[in-house]
Chain A
Amino acid sequence: MRAYFAAALLCLGSGLPAAPPAPSGSNNESDPPGYPPVVAGRPLQFPADHGAHPDYRTEWWYVTGWVTDEDGVERGFQVTFFRVRTRIGEDNPSRFAPRQLILAHAAVADPAEGRLLHAERGERALDPLAGAATGHTRAWIGEWALEWSQDHYRASVDADSFAYDLRFDPAGPPLPNGQDGFSQKAPDPRHASYYYSRPQLGVSGTLRVRGKTHRVTGHAWLDHEWSSAYLPEKARGWDWIGINLADGGALMAFRMRTATGEATWTAGTLRRGNEPARALAPAQVTFIPGRRWRSPRTGTEYPVEWQLDIDGRRLQLQPLMDDQELDSRRTTGAVYWEGAVRLVENGREIGRGYLEMTGYGERLRM
Chain B
Amino acid sequence: MNAGLRHVFLASLARRRLATALSLLAIALGVALGLAVQLIHGAALDEFGRGMRLVAGEADLQVMGPRTGFDDALYVLLAQRPEVADASPILEVEASLPQRDDSLRVFGVDALRVRRVQPALMPVPEAEVAGEFGIFAADGVFLSPAAQAALGPGTGGTLAVLAGPREEHLRILGSVPGAGRGQRLAVMDIAAAQRLFDQVGRVTRIDLRLAQGVDRAAAIERLRPLLPPGVELLAPEAAASQVAGLSRAYRVNLTMLAAIALLTGGFLVFSTQLLSVVRRRQELALLRALGLDRRTLLRGLLAEGALLGFVGGLVGVALGYALSALAFSIVGADLGAGYFEGVEPGLRFEPLATAVYLVLGVAAGVAGAWLPAREASRVAPARALRASDDVEVLRARPRGPAALASLGLALLLCLLPPLGGIPVFGYAAIALILAGSVLVLPAVVRLAMRALDGGRFVLLRLAHARLAAAPGQVVVAGAGVVASVALAAAMAIMVSSFRTSVDDWLSDVLPADLYLRASSSGASAFLTPEVIAQVAATPGVSSVQPVRFDTLRLDEAQFPVTLIARPVAEGAPVPLVEGDAASVRGADGLPPAWVSEAMADLFRLAVGDTLSLPFGGAPHRFRVAGVWRDYARQHGAVLVELADYRALTNDSRSNNVAIRVAPGVQAETVAAALQAQFVGRNFELAAPGEIRATTLAVFDRTFLVTYLMEAVAILIGLFGVSTSFAALATARRKEFGMLRHLGLTRRDIGRLLALEGALGAAVGVAVGLAAGGAVALVLVEVVNRQSFHWSMDIRLPLAALAAFAVTLVLLAAVAARLSGYQAMRQSAVLAVREDW
- A-side residues, CB < 8 A to B, are 10, 12-17, 24, 86, 88-89, 92-98, 101, 122-124, 126, 128-129
Contacts and interface: CB of A to CB of B under 8 A. Distances in A.
B76 A122 contact: no
A96 B133 contact: no
The 4 A-B pairs of least Cβ separation, nearest first, read A96-B191, A98-B136, A94-B191, A94-B194
A128 B134 CA distance: 25
Interface stretch (B109-117, B385-393, B405-413, B562-570): B109-117
A7 to B, nearest CB: 8
A201 B115 CA distance: 36
A88 to B, nearest CB: 5
A248 B72 CA distance: 51
B113, B132, B137, B138, most chain A CB atoms within 10 A: B132
Q: Say what secondary structure dominates the interface of chain A.
A: loop
A95 B72 contact: yes
Nearest to B114: A13
A94 B89 CA distance: 13
B127 interface: yes
Contacts of A10: 132-133
A126 B127 contact: no
Given A96-B72, A96-B89, A124-B110, A15 B124 contact: yes
Given A14-B135, A94-B191, A96-B191, 6 more contacts: A16-B125, A88-B133, A88-B136, A96-B194, A124-B110, A124-B112
B189 interface: yes
Contacts of B134: 14
B777 interface: no
A318 B623 CA distance: 81
Contacts of A92: 138, 191-192, 194-195, 200
A155 B89 CA distance: 28
A123 B112 contact: yes
A199 to B, nearest CB: 33
Contacts of B79: 129
B190 interface: yes
B76 A88 contact: no
Contacts of B122: 13
Contact of B127 (A15, A96, A124, A128): A15
Contacts of A13: 111, 115, 122, 124
Contact of A89 (B111, B130, B192): B192
Contacts, number: 81
Contacts of B200: 92-94
Contacts of A93: 195, 200-201
Contacts of A123: 112-113
Given A89-B192, A94-B195, A94-B200, A17 B127 contact: yes
Interface string B76-87: 100110000000
Interface string B182-210: 00000001111011000011000000000
B305 to A, nearest CB: 61
A101 B132 CA distance: 13
A86 B130 CA distance: 14
Interface of B: 72, 76, 79-80, 89, 110-113, 115, 122, 124-125, 127, 130, 132-138, 189-192, 194-195, 200-201
Given A97-B191, A98-B189, A124-B110, A86 B76 contact: no
Contacts of B113: 123
Residue picked from A12, A86, A96, A101, most chain B C-beta under 10 Å: A96
A129 B76 contact: yes
B80 to A, nearest CB: 7
A16 B130 CA distance: 10
B138 A89 contact: yes
Contacts of B194: 92, 94, 96
A98 B132 CA distance: 13
Contacts of B127: 14-17
14 contacts: A14-B125, A86-B133, A93-B195, A94-B190, A94-B194, A94-B195, A94-B200, A95-B72, A95-B201, A96-B191, A101-B136, A123-B112, A124-B110, A126-B76
Contacts of A14: 124-125, 127, 130, 134-135
B112 A122 contact: yes
Nearest to B119: A13
A24 B132 CA distance: 9
Contacts of B124: 13-15
Contacts of A97: 191
A89 B201 CA distance: 14
A94 B69 CA distance: 15
Nearest to B133: A86
Nearest to B112: A122
A16 B195 CA distance: 27
Given A17-B127, A124-B110, A129-B79, A98 B133 contact: yes
Contacts of A24: 132
Contacts of B136: 86, 88-89, 98, 101, 124
Contacts of A89: 136, 138, 189, 191-192, 195
A126 B77 CA distance: 12
B114 to A, nearest CB: 9
A124 B110 CA distance: 8
A277 to B, nearest CB: 36
A230 to B, nearest CB: 14
A93 B89 CA distance: 17
- Report which residue of B124, B189, B191, B195 has the largest number of chain A beta carbons within 10 angstroms of its beta carbon: B191
A12 B111 contact: yes
B71 to A, nearest CB: 10
A96 B190 contact: yes
A12 B72 contact: no
Contacts of B133: 10, 86, 88, 98
B68 to A, nearest CB: 16
Nearest to A366: B124
B112 A12 contact: yes
A123 to B, nearest CB: 6
A97 B108 CA distance: 12
Nearest to B189: A98
A88 B393 CA distance: 89
Nearest to B113: A123
A97 B260 CA distance: 59
B250 to A, nearest CB: 39
A93 B200 CA distance: 7
A94 B112 contact: no
Nearest to B126: A15
A122 B112 CA distance: 6
Contacts of B190: 94, 96
Contact of A129 (B80, B135, B191): B80
A59 to B, nearest CB: 16
A98 B122 CA distance: 17
Nearest to A84: B133
Contacts of A95: 72, 76, 191, 201
Contacts of A96: 72, 89, 110, 189-191, 194
